[in-house]
Structure 1
Amino acid sequence: MEQSKHVRLCKLVVMEKRPRLQSVNVYLLFNTEFPANSIDIRLKPDKIQIFSDKNAEEISCMDFKIHQDSISSLVLKNDFATFRFCTSNLNNELGTFKSDIVEIVEIENDTENFNLHKVLDTNFKYDIKCIHCLQYFCKGVQFKKILPLPSENADFGEWFCHAPTSNFKFDVLNPEISDLFYSSCYFHINLSLLKDGISFSEGSRILCKNCSFELGKLEKKAVCKLWFHTACLHFNNSRYESQPLEDCFRAIRNCLNNSVVGSYRILFYYESPQKSDFIFLWIMEKKLRLYVKDFNGSEFSDKINKVAKVLFKFTDIATDEEVKKWRSDQTVVQLEISLVMMTKLREHLNIMHKYIPENFSVSNGFYISYVSLYNK
């Protein structure tokens, strides 16, 4: 007699671990719908057991030491379940004197981590190319002055170690032909370096003359703002370029490094005469440990990420009341990003949003998602 084929109960398991609270939130997505009274969930010290009328499944939790009688906030409905349980600290540090010692941790410096200080040097000669078609914009340029820009939300006066005179003109921040000013995601150079290889669209958007790829924008007078993921730098038989999604993460981390509050709001925007796009991002938790067990074929593939948990929504209406409200709020950081950054960030938020069951994925008109900000 042919044996019935074993069918996996779960197709997706998501666990949010909060070490200081010693708790774990669990989301289970089943392969099929079950009546609520047909599913039994039990906790063991190192695993979660799930029983249905015909099948049983175990989810290993080797990184947790589970309190077996601590299950709470249990919801079983249709094809998903969610609940919370408490854990003990495996290394027995939380709740002891050792956990009360404040560690000295260096603030993550994304500019150094991304080796910009090694890439940008007045001793190098640079070729600048379109990252899309590799068309040259300039060759053999050696910059005499390479300096970091103030953050987008800083007063330009903070760029100086002493107060300038009252009649000082901040045009000094406009790069001359031998200057390059940079942030972690983009750089400013003089227009005359690029004029033979670029064209302009409406709204002072800079395009590659060869392939019409959008490179950046004309900020003011002769100041070109180019992104490291649209224009690559070639020097000493090496090249430097970034990825648009990583640039988004880097911009967010830079904001968080300067923040002392738990939650943080950022308004990302891209504006041109043709379109306006906005992403509202409300960061609720930083460095949350996320465990994802995704069933694929015959076994689970495990992923462990350190993420930020966020609320987000998107609009393409510049006159939207929410846009006006956030733009007038001094506690909201406004960051201009490129069109490709806007597209990639929106895709990432939508993908991570799918890890949360639909019934729990919306809060106060915002979607809930995760952002993979951290490499470790």
Structure 2
Amino acid sequence: MLIKNIFIELRSRLRSCNVFITTGVDFTKNCNLKISIQTNCIVLNYYKDDYDKSKRRDSLSSIESLSDCYSEDEYEVTCVIPVRQYCQIIPNSMSCLKIDKSTISFRILTEPKNGGNFYKELLSANNFDSPTKGSVLKLNVKAGEELKLTCANCSNVVSGNCVKFDRVLELPTANLDMSEWFCHGHGHSHSHGETPQPSDGVIKPNKTDFLYRLTFFVVNNSVLSDKTNKFNSKREVYHCNRCLAWLGLKDKDTVKLYNSEIKLQQNNCETVVFAHKTVQDIHTDDFIYTIEYMTREFNLGFQYTVMCKIVLECTISATKKQYLLIWVMDKELQVLRNNVDTILNDKIELQSTSVTKILFKVEFCMNEEVESWVSDPGVVTTEISKGMFSNGLAHLQKMSQKVPESFRNSNGYCVSYLKV
């Protein structure tokens, strides 16, 4: 089998495609390859000569010369990659060709399908009417409704029987500085005539408040069971008293619980705090949704998507944190990839999907680079659970395998995608 995997980044605005092909052939051995760029497809002709090594040609620097050496019927394998459905290629526009062991990568230019050419395009009138997708959080907690908080790992009830919240409010972003909004103090103990006390930055909810953000919610420890509170009385990291799962963080009477580690019991039905598409893999789905939502909020009001920086913090012990630095490069990048089943049947069909392309790096302590990101007002920061951090990082590392190894790193950051 010549082709194992096809991954194409289609950039309609730049009129170009980045093509990455993984094959089952080691091109460092005695073999020849011809790549033909046509208007509606990409053709790969593979020829291997096991007997006459003098007939070997350099497939890296002289691809077109192969057509003069061999006729079409001499090739062992011919693969056609159809792209007519998605774009129109400019013939002989291939550049940046790189063949490394079993991988092929190159860049080609495209033309608009709706008229015009590489230099000009006819735009339709409804191109700028696309609505903002998924801008509303679907929260399963409502004021006045009874529910139970359970551990997502072992279903242990961590709340005090049925609890009812009088107020369900969304927390502001972590980048918000209250001193920039008001001219007076906002400490909980501050009143008229008293000396203002410096705020510790910790939000203290009332006993019946449910204060939530995208990745966690904050409650008063009075809504949690006495058994669970007693078990965590001397801990800063809040654990499940049955399975010892990390549920969140504790600060005096305030407990911050991560959405991915807690489930809700309502009317004998078990649900999550926020609705998800893939309930079986809540951590990865929550991770992807978090990045996409934060990127969407960052670009709110911009006509075009701008690059967004995100810092995801994870507490791994009472005194230690890990940081995942994410630089969103393309929010809605169109990607063409193959269907594995059709390749096994010697027929290649491409599927189009919209993904988010990012650069990421993991830092295990608060170093100079992390500090510069966190202190930047243009960087969005949030805390996530330990499970969400590890599953999300595994997802990014897996998606990074879609491109050849030589294209997986850039300036010390790893290249990856969401939802491929």
Match of 2:232 among 172, 177, 200: 200
Superposition deviation, residue 214 in structure 1: 0.8
Match of 1:269 among 296, 305, 313: 313
Tell me if structure 2 keeps the 8 A contact 1:110–1:184.
no
The whole-number CA distance in structure 1 between the counterparts of 2:233 and 2:339 is 45
Would you say 1:83 and 2:76 are equivalent positions? no
Amino acid at match of 2:171: L
Match of 1:132 among 153, 157, 179: 153
The whole-number CA distance in structure 2 between the counterparts of 1:52 and 1:97 is 40
Residue in 1 aligned with 2:71? none
Tell me if structure 2 keeps the 8 A contact 1:110–1:254.
no
User: What's the CA shift string for 1:54-90, capped at 9, x where partnerless?
Assistant: 2211112232222223222222232221112222333
Would you say 1:103 and 2:137 are equivalent positions? no
Q: Comparing 119-128 with 208-217, which one deviates more in the overlay?
A: 119-128
Amino acid at match of 1:32: V
User: What's the CA shift string for 1:108-136, capped at 9, x where partnerless?
Assistant: 3141xxx21xx222231111111111111
Match of 2:344 among 291, 298, 307: 298
TM-score by length of 1: 0.84
The whole-number CA distance in structure 2 between the counterparts of 1:85 and 1:184 is 40
Amino acid at match of 1:306: S
Match of 2:187 among 169, 178, 182: 169
Tell me if structure 2 keeps the 8 A contact 1:124–1:236.
no
User: What percentage of residue pairs aligned between the two structures are identical?
Assistant: 25
User: Can you give the 5+ residue segments of structure 2 that lack an aligned partner in the other structure?
Assistant: 48-75, 190-201, 275-281
The whole-number CA distance in structure 2 between the counterparts of 1:228 and 1:21 is 39
Match of 2:164 among 121, 124, 142: 142
Match of 1:47 among 23, 38, 41: 41
User: Can you give the 5+ residue segments of structure 1 that lack an aligned partner in the other structure?
Assistant: 1-7
Q: Specify whether residues 13 and 196 from structure 1 end up closer, same or farther in structure 2 by C-alpha distance, changes over 3 A only.
A: same
Amino acid at match of 1:209: N
Q: Specify whether residues 77 and 168 from structure 1 end up closer, same or farther in structure 2 by C-alpha distance, changes over 3 A only.
A: closer
User: What's the CA shift string for 1:291-313, capped at 9, x where partnerless?
Assistant: 22264682468554311111112
Superposition deviation, residue 349 in structure 1: 0.8
Q: How many residues align?
A: 355
Equivalent runs, 1:359-370 vs 2, <5 Å: 359-370=406-417
Equivalent runs, 1:1-376 vs 2, <5 Å: 8-34=1-27, 38-53=32-47, 54-61=76-83, 62-92=85-115, 95-98=121-124, 102-103=128-129, 105-106=131-132, 108-111=134-137, 115-116=138-139, 119-138=140-159, 139-156=161-178, 166-169=184-187, 173-198=203-228, 199-200=231-232, 204-218=236-250, 220-241=251-272, 243-257=282-296, 258-259=298-299, 260=302, 262-271=306-315, 272-273=317-318, 275-293=320-338, 295=340, 298-299=344-345, 304-316=352-364, 318-372=365-419
The whole-number CA distance in structure 2 between the counterparts of 1:225 and 1:156 is 20
Tell me if structure 1 keeps the 8 A contact 2:310–2:379.
yes
SS of the counterpart of 1:354?
A: helix
Residue in 2 aligned with 1:4? none
Superposition deviation, residue 357 in structure 1: 0.7
Which one has the bigger strand percentage? 1
Name the Cα RMSD after superposition.
2.8
The whole-number CA distance in structure 1 between the counterparts of 2:356 and 2:170 is 27
SS of the counterpart of 2:260?
A: coil
The whole-number CA distance in structure 2 between the counterparts of 1:34 and 1:104 is 45
The whole-number CA distance in structure 2 between the counterparts of 1:301 and 1:50 is 15
Residue in 1 aligned with 2:51? none
The whole-number CA distance in structure 1 between the counterparts of 2:233 and 2:306 is 41
Amino acid at match of 1:252: I
The whole-number CA distance in structure 2 between the counterparts of 1:221 and 1:247 is 28
Superposition deviation, residue 26 in structure 1: 0.2
User: What's the CA shift string for 1:211-250, capped at 9, x where partnerless?
Assistant: 11111111x3311111222111122343321522222223
TM-score by length of 2: 0.76
The whole-number CA distance in structure 2 between the counterparts of 1:295 and 1:202 is 53
Tell me if structure 2 keeps the 8 A contact 1:150–1:156.
no
Q: Comparing 359-368 with 83-92, which one deviates more in the overlay?
A: 83-92
Q: Specify whether residues 281 and 340 from structure 1 end up closer, same or farther in structure 2 by C-alpha distance, changes over 3 A only.
A: same
Tell me if structure 2 keeps the 8 A contact 1:202–1:273.
no
